[in-house]
Amino acid sequence: SLSSFGIGASPQQLRREELLKGNVQLESMKSRMDETRRLLEDSESIGASVLGNLQGQRDKMQKTRDGLHTIDDDLDSSAKKLGAMKCRAHTQRIMCYSMGISLVLTIF
């Protein structure tokens, strides 16, 4: 119709059509904002979930690291004890050879 081009329409009619177009644009913007808000909430939820998973993995890694330090300390302690035992065994072997030689020399 000619009124849609502003021809033959009253100023009130033109104003009404402008307001209707404005309302349509506002509804469209509101719909887009609602969709954006929904996506933002979904993203926030996913982010919180990922953050929780990462925190759990960090805790597991920290416990593993602590366990490895304990194992390392235990291995160091064991190595020292084995070294001391090896030294004692070597000393006892020397004493046995010395006593054997002393017995042989005493007998002959």
Tens of pLDDT along 55-93? 999 999 999 999 999 999 999 999 999 999 999 999 999
| Other beta carbons less than 10 A from residue 9's beta carbon | 16
pTM over 0.75: no
Convert the pLDDT of each residue in 15-40 to its tens digit.
999 999 999 999 999 999 999 999 99
Distance separating alpha carbons of residues 49 and 37, to the nearest angstrom: 18
